[in-house]
């Protein structure tokens, strides 16, 4: 098992995804240079959490980089995992990964909000961390936890190049988002989830180009609005199919 991760990527990196190809499990990933958890410090409520990784497991790293210049751009990735003593692990994480829709389009000159999309919490647990994966035409990604009719904003980000990664633990205080200054932010403290809760997310896409945007890996010519995170004790069932 492991839990603490460290990502370092050269300029131009858009994302990296690490997968155990023997099981198909997505182990981790990042859009920016960062430590997960923050500073490599595990919150006390997560001391018994681990992510399984078998001995000699084959690892695949999918890396997407962008070069808008005229010269070659060197790419290099370092991903470090810190192992957890198996005798201490009582909980394993579940991946939160939902692209919402992959069929929506954004017409030339259109400024539109796509979503919200939803997934339903299947049992009591916690959301440990999350971020919104978007492309260059996105100007806002927002996510909420809805419980009994109360809709709480848990995440909002405005910078597609340096997407905000938020951790929800007893050790982390996240600043609230500021729409006026376009400063991202999110929920502070432990983010508990109960069976029957819903996670929702949406993206504001501003297409200033002369071509239609489709869901595609082409960062400047397409759009994405993917919620990504780690759950413990639960999973989130997508409504989008």
Q: For residue range 114-172, what is the model confidence (pLDDT) as tens digits?
A: 999 999 999 999 999 999 999 999 999 999 999 999 999 999 999 998 889 999 999 99
Q: What is the mean pLDDT of residues 6-19?
A: 91
User: Is-contact 3 129, C-beta < 8 A?
Assistant: no
pTM of the complete model: 0.92
DSSP 65-103: E---SSS-----EEEEEEE--GGG--EEEEEEEE---SS
Q: What is the pLDDT of residue 105?
A: 96
> How far is the C-alpha of 169 from the C-alpha of 196, rounded, in Å?
22
Alpha-carbon separation of residue 78 from 6, 10, 16, 33, 132 (angstroms): 8, 9, 10, 10, 22
Over residues 185-211, the mean pLDDT reads 97
The sign one gets for the Cα dihedral 38, 90, 143, 208 is positive
By the 10 Å C-beta count (0-12 exposed, 13-18 middle, 19+ buried), 100 is classed as: buried
Percent of the chain scoring above 70 in pLDDT: 100
Nearest to 133 by CA among 62, 198, 239: 62
**pLDDT averaged over the chain?**
94
C-alpha span between 145 and 153 (Å, rounded): 7
What would the mean pLDDT of 71-96 be, rounded to a whole number?
94
Q: Are 187 and 152 in contact (CB under 8 A)?
A: yes
| Degrees, nearest 5: CA angle 57-52-239 | 110
User: What does the longest C-alpha to C-alpha distance in the chain come to?
Assistant: 57
Torsion sign over Cα 62, 185, 149, 195: positive
Q: What is the mean pLDDT of residues 189-199?
A: 97
Spatial separation of the C-alpha atoms in residues 139 and 196, rounded to whole Å: 30
25 - beta bridge partners? 20
Helix (H) or strand (E) holding 236: strand 236-238
For residue 241, what pLDDT is reported? 58
């Amino acid at each position: 098992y492991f839990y603490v991760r460290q990502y370092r990527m050269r300029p131009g990196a858009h994302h990296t995804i690490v997968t155990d190809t023997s099981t198909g499990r997505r182990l981790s990933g990042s859009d920016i240079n960062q430590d997960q958890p923050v500073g490599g410090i595990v919150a006390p409520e997560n001391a018994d959490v681990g992510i399984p990784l078998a001995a000699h497991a084959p690892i695949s790293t999918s890396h997407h980089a962008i070069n808008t210049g005229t010269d070659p751009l060197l790419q290099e990735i370092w991903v470090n995992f810190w192992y957890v003593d198996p005798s201490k692990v009582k909980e394993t994480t579940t991946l939160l990964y939902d692209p919402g829709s992959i069929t929506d389009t954004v017409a030339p000159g259109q400024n539109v909000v796509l979503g919200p999309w939803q997934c339903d919490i299947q049992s009591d647990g916690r959301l440990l961390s999350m971020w919104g994966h978007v492309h260059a035409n996105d100007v806002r990604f927002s996510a909420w936890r809805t419980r009994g009719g109360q809709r709480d904003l848990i995440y909002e980000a405005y910078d597609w190049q340096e997407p905000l990664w938020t951790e929800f633990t007893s050790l982390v205080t996240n600043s609230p988002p500021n729409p006026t200054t376009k400063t991202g932010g999110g929920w502070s403290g432990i983010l508990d989830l109960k069976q029957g809760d819903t996670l929702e997310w949406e993206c504001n896409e501003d297409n200033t180009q002369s071509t239609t945007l489709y869901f595609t890996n082409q960062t400047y010519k397409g759009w994405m609005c993917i919620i990504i995170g780690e759950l413990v004790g639960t999973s989130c069932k997508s409504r989008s199919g």
